[in-house]
């Protein structure tokens, strides 16, 4: 299986997504846009596209982030979706998937940074790829926004601070506003890049302190994410047989 990662910042690392891909001995390629990497010209060599998060939003300008071309990424994501690839977006990546499907992202009711529970909706409980998550499930968060919804999309999970935590756009396309890929190493990178995190934690309900975030054991959410990816890979393989 050929996995392509789009990574927007060094501190928005693939974490448990990369661990899964390496464990499965999949073929890996990367577009590290913060290093000025270009997106692939061809998509034939991609089976699963994973788009990571970032401090950007889908309408961030080149003056803010010269290396981030939202329009190019949105067009690339749409090509992959139209070609029947499996696509997973995390945080910003989830918002870009929505934009690729003409669904405008929205600001989340609350800023969330840390580990807070998500609750599966009825659609989530009945979704064969995430039903094993259980409900509630503590997961990582690091966001201000949330993905847009298409008429066909289904919200699979929500939290108290954000009503759109996991969205299924198609059987092969999922948006995760939450960060189930977090590891202790990734968390250290995120904390180092976040300004005034401790002060934020003193004034905002859904922002935890650096010590709280670093003390958490992320292994359970990582394991559940890996099972989701196994199931997504199986669904993609079946889709190839049925073509």
Element (H, E) at 176: strand 173-176
* Cβ–Cβ < 8 Å for 118, 137: yes
176-191: b (≥16 Cβ within 10 Å) or e? bbbbbbbbeebbebbb
For range 33-46, the mean pLDDT = 96
The per-residue pLDDT for 184 is: 96
Number of domains, the chain = 1
- Residue 151: pLDDT band with limits 50, 70, 90: very high
Question: Which tens digit of pLDDT belongs to each residue from 156-208?
Answer: 999 999 999 999 999 999 999 999 999 999 999 999 999 999 999 999 999 99
The per-residue pLDDT for 2 is: 98
Classify residue 170: in a domain, yes or no: yes
Place of tokens 């003193």: 202
Mean pLDDT of the chain: 97
CA distance 212 to 153: 34
* Cβ–Cβ < 8 Å for 109, 161: yes
Q: What is the pTM of this model?
A: 0.97
Question: Which tens digit of pLDDT belongs to each residue from 208-236?
Answer: 999 999 999 999 999 999 999 999 999 99
Classify residue 242: in a domain, yes or no: no
How many C-beta neighbours within 10 Å does residue 44 have?
A: 9
Q: Is the pLDDT reported for residue 243 higher than 90?
A: no
The per-residue pLDDT for 207 is: 97
Classify residue 47: in a domain, yes or no: yes
Place of tokens 């003390």: 215
Largest separation between any pair of C-alpha atoms in the chain: 54
Among left, alpha and beta (phi > 0; psi -120 to 50; other), residue 145 is beta
Q: What are phi and psi of 50, to 5 degrees?
A: -120, 120
Classify residue 81: in a domain, yes or no: yes
- The angle that helices 92-100 and 70-82 make with each other, rounded to 10 degrees, is 70
CA distance 147 to 44: 27
Q: Which CATH number is 190's domain given?
A: 3.40.50.880
Classify residue 121: in a domain, yes or no: yes
Structure tokens, 69: 């071309």
Classify residue 241: in a domain, yes or no: no
Q: Residue 118 belongs to what domain range? A: 2-218+225-236
Question: Which tens digit of pLDDT belongs to each residue from 107-141?
Answer: 999 999 999 999 999 999 999 999 999 999 999 99
Structure tokens, 9: 């910042």
The per-residue pLDDT for 242 is: 80
CA distance 169 to 151: 9
For range 143-150, the mean pLDDT = 98
Classify residue 169: in a domain, yes or no: yes
Place of tokens 């577009």: 31
Classify residue 151: in a domain, yes or no: yes
């Amino acid at each position: 299986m050929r996995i392509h990662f789009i990574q927007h910042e060094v501190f928005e690392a693939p974490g448990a997504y990369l661990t899964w891909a390496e464990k499965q001995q999949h073929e890996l390629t990367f577009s590290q846009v913060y290093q000025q990497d270009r997106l692939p010209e061809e998509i034939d060599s991609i089976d699963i596209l994973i788009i990571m998060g970032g401090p950007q939003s889908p309408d961030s300008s080149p003056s803010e982030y010269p290396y981030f071309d939202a329009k190019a990424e949105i067009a690339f994501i749409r090509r992959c979706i139209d070609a029947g690839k499996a696509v997973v977006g995390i945080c910003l990546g989830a918002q870009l998937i929505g934009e690729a499907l003409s669904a405008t992202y929205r600001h989340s009711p609350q800023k969330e940074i840390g580990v807070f529970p998500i609750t599966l909706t009825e659609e989530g409980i009945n979704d064969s790829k995430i039903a094993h998550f259980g409900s509630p499930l503590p997961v990582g968060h690091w966001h201000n926004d949330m993905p847009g919804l298409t008429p066909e999309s289904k919200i699979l999970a929500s939290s108290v601070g954000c009503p759109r935590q996991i969205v299924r756009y198609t059987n092969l396309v999922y948006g995760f506003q939450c960060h189930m890929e977090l590891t202790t190493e990734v968390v250290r990178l995120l904390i180092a890049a976040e300004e005034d995190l401790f002060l934020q934690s003193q004034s905002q309900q859904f922002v935890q302190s650096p010590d709280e975030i670093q003390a958490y054991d992320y292994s359970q959410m990582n394991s559940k994410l890996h099972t989701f990816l196994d199931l997504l890979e199986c669904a993609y393989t079946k889709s190839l047989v049925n073509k």
